[in-house]
Structure 1
Amino acid sequence: MQSRPILILILAGGLISLIAMGSRAAFGLFLEPVSSEFGWGREVFGLSLAIQNIVWGLSQPFASAIADKYGSGRTLVVSGIVYAAGLFLMSQTGSAMELHLSAGLMIGLGLSGTGFGVVIGSVGRAVPEEKRSMALGIVGASGSLGQFLMVPMGQAFLSSYGWSMALVLIGCCALLMIPASAWVRGRAEDSAAAGAASLSAAIREAAGNGSYWLLFFGFFVCGFHVTFVAVHLPAYIVDMNVAPKYGAIALSVVGLFNVIGSLASGYLGGKYSKKYLLSTLYFLRAALFVAFILIPISPVTIIVFAATLGLLWLSTVPLTSGLVAVLFGPKYMTTLFGFVFFGHQVGAFLGAWIGGVAFDMFGSYDIVWWMSVGLGVLSGVLHWPIREGLTVTRAAASTG
């Protein structure tokens, strides 16, 4: 593939990630107004987003396998339609069950095809190994740029039109993913990239690899962290008697600084050990959470916290997906990253749900913040023993 088509692929994939991940990042803004209008506890909205994340995780390996077999473009088109439809139906919700079906089930299914998994696999197959880490960093940075752009846009929609019309307008933005999907094409079988002889062989090889499972459980922690913060930080800020606008500002700042973090992660991942970079990221997250818990909260500390967290936010994505390609080759990277991403989404389910349950039970998020600290340390430890190199099967294939 020539450089120009690769550039178009990266730009189109980046646009899809921008819209999909940016829209998702804005959902936390709707927790308080939707819950207040219907008289719900925060567990209801939190459970809807927890369902969204676990459905996303459960369906991600299947969406990835479909993309590997039948093509990324078709998978992205169908998923984009489902995502937009979920947003439109969410705007009309009138009961907890309707919220669970729209915000939870439908958007979760839509994210499985439009989130990082399918786009990362297409980019990973197309880009040469020496440039792959940076290309994956650009895709990750695009998702973060979406958070920076779409969270304040969502807040502006909320302030001007109310939560229902705000969701309709975000749904219109989601429709832009459909034409962009035409440029993100390709199947695993059409690729000359290194990897197992078949999809089933790739899955068997990964399932028997201890380093792959360490990646799985480590990425679980990332899902817990980012979803707890994205869903509950705006409400936590209001609880701390800080103006609600700082919730949107904080999430936007996280997105802005993660553009820097993701690009830096992609660059450093091409030069240094990915597993040690991941361990460092998780240890730094744990230290940051401790500081945020102990230092009195104010607009200044919120912005400093958000900026620092942004550098560490989705910087894990290019490193984790890059390690999958290092271990097993990029040919079936979409599917193999999809299974690792399921671990991320189990953590995301628990981060969204436990945050709501903890608040309804104890009237604060303190216990969940400390859980986040412990999990950050655990993930830092889990990445350390990963064997960062060719698997036996791939090494044999590359020399045979």
Structure 2
Amino acid sequence: MTSTDTARPETWRTPFVIVVCGCLIGLLSFGPRSVVGMFLMPISNENGWTRDVLSMTIAIQNLMWGIGQPFAGAIADRFGTLRVFWAGAIMYALGLACMGLPLPPLAMHVISGTLVGLGLAGVSFNLVLSCFAKLLPESRRPSAMGAGTAASSLGQFLFAPLTPLLIDLFGWKVALFVFACVPALIFPLAFALATNPAANVGAGTGAEKSVAATLKEAFSHPSYVYLVIGFFTCGFQLAFITTHYPPYLADLKMPAWVAGFALAFIGLFNIVGSLTSGWLSGRMLKRWLLVYIYFARGAVGLMLIVLPPSPAVALLFAALMGLLWLSTVPPTSGLVALMFGTRYMAMLYGFVFFSHQVGGFLGVWLGGLMYERTGSYDIMWWLSVLFCIGSGLINIPIKEQPAKPAALVPAE
């Protein structure tokens, strides 16, 4: 019996059901998170804060998401995913709700920053992709990972125009409360992605190694380290744009609908980009796909810098960036599975994602700080271009082959 058979003995859990439920979880978890930038100005104005205060809260959310991801992955690898999804949904909902309370800045940073970040670690598409790697046949994994990533973007596409509408009709507090209720829908969907810890044994090259031995092997493998470092840029750019692009456009005196449609365009075009990336990941060298994506991101960022600002340019930037938005995820997760197998997939990809979220923390926090210090986001746009070039270069020497097995030790 294969590990896949052991993992999903129920007849109702077909590959189609697993992919659909996983995609819905990705949509529901990524949707509210992708529009937090639209609450930056209303919450700041309500509390009399400068722009950098709530930016710090959102930055901490990104950082805690990154810190929590390896632990959530390790717990899911060891004990199964169902309870991780449930715990994450509860924390995510509470953290979003707390953003609507009249908390002082420090309490907002600690409470909302921690709860939303750790909650996302337990329900985001990262854990969904690791479930796909364990529950689906190898031939279906690249396209499923592309679909899971695309579904997350569909969440952004749906929530982006909905957010300003809800804020205009009912106020930002009601809109935030509505979004805080969304994670509850993840509870029933998680049953389809439940993994049996016993099913992990025998899956991939790291099947019989302990957690410590696996981590030692991973971080002594240059290609894995390059992957970790390169993913920093993805988080830096995405988090900066998600949080600060709406106020950036407002500073340029553009109508509010431009920001809503820009974020929606990113989500819509990322569906195409993610599906294409998942398809290409199974047909070309993944490292070169990453190189092309990072260089293309730098070119799109440069376009925004040099062209005169207008709604057309703002939407064109959003569409082009959307094609590249999460397209890094299928080749990145695919490389982790290729190097180390699926036994500790959630944990090892969690460490790669930690780098992503360190970048996200700096992208959001520095964005607010640089704006308050200089009165513009110019420095941040140039930094994102330079980081894209660096990440493209660092992915070139990655070797696409299984890591050399280390000496096996008894599993923990």
Within a 5 Å distance, the mapping from 1:212-291 to structure 2 comes to 212-291=224-303
Match of 1:133 in 2: 142
**Among candidates 375, 397, 403, match of residue 363 of structure 1:** 375
Kept after mapping to 1: 8 A contact 2:47/2:102? no
1:146 matched to 2:155? The reply is yes
User: How far is 1:20 from its partner?
Assistant: 0.9
Higher mean displacement: 180-189 or 285-294: 180-189
C-alpha distance in structure 2 between counterparts of 1:212 and 1:246, whole Å: 39
CA displacement, residues 298-338 of structure 1 (integer Å, 9 cap, x when unaligned):
11111111000000000111110011001111221111000
Identity %: 41
Counterpart residue type for residue 203 of structure 2: A
1:384 matched to 2:384? The reply is no
Kept after mapping to 2: 8 A contact 1:87/1:170? yes
C-alpha distance in structure 1 between counterparts of 2:276 and 2:111, whole Å: 36
1:186 matched to 2:198? The reply is no
C-alpha distance in structure 2 between counterparts of 1:252 and 1:195, whole Å: 40
Kept after mapping to 1: 8 A contact 2:79/2:196? yes
C-alpha distance in structure 2 between counterparts of 1:162 and 1:101, whole Å: 25
1:295 matched to 2:307? The reply is yes
Kept after mapping to 2: 8 A contact 1:131/1:270? no
Match of 2:213 in 1: 201
1:13 matched to 2:13? The reply is no
CA displacement, residues 188-241 of structure 1 (integer Å, 9 cap, x when unaligned):
541342131133332221111011110101101100000000000000001111
Match of 2:112 in 1: 103
Kept after mapping to 2: 8 A contact 1:195/1:202? no
Aligned length: 396
Please provide the CA RMSD for this pair.
1.6
Counterpart residue type for residue 313 of structure 1: W
**Among candidates 164, 180, 197, match of residue 155 of structure 1:** 164
User: How far is 1:88 from its partner?
Assistant: 1.6
Pick the structure with more helix per residue: 1
**Among candidates 352, 355, 362, match of residue 340 of structure 1:** 352
SS at match of 1:91: coil
User: How far is 1:99 from its partner?
Assistant: 2.3
Counterpart residue type for residue 225 of structure 1: Q
C-alpha distance in structure 2 between counterparts of 1:181 and 1:3, whole Å: 14
Unaligned runs of 5+ in 1: none
**Among candidates 23, 28, 35, match of residue 44 of structure 2:** 35
SS at match of 1:393: coil
1:81 matched to 2:63? The reply is no
C-alpha distance in structure 2 between counterparts of 1:84 and 1:150, whole Å: 16
Unaligned runs of 5+ in 2: 6-10
C-alpha distance in structure 1 between counterparts of 2:223 and 2:198, whole Å: 25
C-alpha distance in structure 2 between counterparts of 1:101 and 1:19, whole Å: 24
Kept after mapping to 1: 8 A contact 2:23/2:147? yes
Kept after mapping to 2: 8 A contact 1:140/1:314? yes
> What TM-score, normalized to structure 2?
0.93
**Among candidates 66, 72, 75, match of residue 75 of structure 2:** 66
CA displacement, residues 119-160 of structure 1 (integer Å, 9 cap, x when unaligned):
111111122222211111011001000000112122221111
C-alpha distance in structure 2 between counterparts of 1:224 and 1:169, whole Å: 28
> What TM-score, normalized to structure 1?
0.96
SS at match of 2:203: coil
C-alpha distance in structure 2 between counterparts of 1:200 and 1:188, whole Å: 18
Kept after mapping to 2: 8 A contact 1:15/1:142? yes
